[in-house]
Amino acid sequence: MAYLLGIDVGTTGTKALLIDESGAIVSRATHEYPLLTPRPNWAEQNPADWWQATTRAIRDALSASAIDPAAVAGLGLSGQMHGSVFLDARGEVLRPAILWCDQRTAEQCAWITEKAGEKVVVEETCNPVLTGFTAPKIVWLRQNEPETYAKVRKILLPKDYVRYRLTGEFATEVSDASGTSLLNVRRRQWSQKMLAALDLSEEMLPKVYESPEVSGRISAAAAEATGLRAGTPVVGGGGDQAAGGVGNGIVRPGVISVTTGTSGVVFAYMDEPTMDPRLRTHTFCHAVPGKWHVMGVMLSAGGSLRWYRDVLGSEEVAVARRMGLDPYELITAEAARAEVGCEGLIFLPYLTGERTPYPDPDARGVWFGATLYHTRAHLARSVLEGVSYGLRDSLEILKAMGLPIEQVRASGGGARSAVWRQIQADVFNSQLVTTNMDEGPAFGVALLAGVGAGVYKSVQAACDATISIASQTHPTADHAAHYERCYPIYRALYQSLKDHFKQVSAL
């Protein structure tokens, strides 16, 4: 029996997931780390925290499994996309990594677009330059911390820093590299036009692989740190969304996923790269070799509910601790007691700016329509509904692009809540299914490791061997009709407020 290890370097923690070749979960372990916010709209982390969490998670997963590490046939890496790790000539980290949700680079995005030319940017990268992406972070460092930038020799994405520590190799893969604004997404290689426009050398970037390709092997030092066997192959892996797409079985046309994690993502497979004419969605390379995906991204989906928990849910947290429950169970149970549509209370989930359908770092969270009648239950439910409206924005774009939507698969932390699944089904007016696997990116890259190690013939074959439908949630007709009346109001609010958002941001 072969075993496969998936590592997901997330925003809140690193997960190690060990599966067997049938897809059964053998063991899992997660270790968390802090998010640093030194200024409003800034988000950073220390790469050393990722490495420490990774080694501890791997050791814990191996220990819990009691298997011989030599039986691990391969390892796959996933992680939060777009972050920037700056290394010096010795491979040492020069400053905290700037993360995907950091919004400091609006000026640099405009500068890059002007310098390279909007036509070149879109032709090469299939996307606009956005504040979350990697290239504007590099330019920001050059403009604002020139002493540090002068020492930079390598620039890595978060999971690829962990790869470097595991293997000693500077490598990435096409799906994660697609979110840098430096990859020619159609050709699946670094864009010489973008590099030249930004005066960047390809030597500063890692080698690009396809996601199931072996990119390195566990070094002796990493073997000692993790308990893995030296020489274990490490495949390219995938950015968290592409890896989650594989983990959800989104590897053929017609099947899409709606993932509610810290961010919210609507994700669809494509045989050829296709773009929304208004560039509201992202067209990236898929973790399936030679294929692409399109996705709409909300920055604060589950993150909005986490904010609600941390700021307004102290009572639920205390009660849940005494009862041995997850606080989210109590919050969503309370939300279920409120009326559908929350009696006109609408939440805009733009707590960290927004990306789809509004690439606006200045957007802000809003509760609209509050009255003396509204209770905490309405507040909680309005967050679930507001995020669902935001996810529907992306679904509507995919429909307008002509992509087939035959099945919608719900995943992420939000999919574990029957209350939130029902709200999404009603807001989308579409059946939602869940699969037997809810481990997301870690499971996806474990499958990719299996392809690279020869356990499966292809990514599609890996998914077919391990993933099946577990549950179905059907929309309730009268609820869907009510949300159909609410949704246009939600849509209109951003247009009414966008100029005020900029004024507030300027303050």
Residue with tokens 């070749």: 21
Q: DSSP character for 96? A: P
**Residue 93 gets which letter from DSSP?**
B
CA distance 423 to 432: 10
Query: CB under 8 Å to 310, separation ≥6 — which residues?
Result: none
DSSP alpha helix (H) spans, 8-46: none
Task: Read off the DSSP letter of residue 85.
Answer: E
Going by C-alpha positions, the residue among 435, 465, 468 that lies closest to residue 450 is 465
Burial class (CB in 10 A: 0-12, 13-18, 19+), 121: buried
Contacts of 487 (CB under 8 A, 6+ apart): 389, 392, 427
Q: What angle do CA 105, 273, 132 make, to 5 degrees?
A: 15
In whole angstroms, give the CA distance from residue 385 to residue 421. 11
Active site residues: 240
Q: What is the DSSP letter of 188?
A: T
Question: What's the CA gap between 217 and 231, in Å, rounded?
Answer: 5
Q: Which residues contact 147 (CB under 8 A, 6 or more apart)?
A: none
- What does the H/E/C string look like for 350-418? CECEECCCCCECCCCCEEECCCCCCCHHHHHHHHHHHHHHHHHHHHHHHHHCCCCEEEEEEECHHHHCH
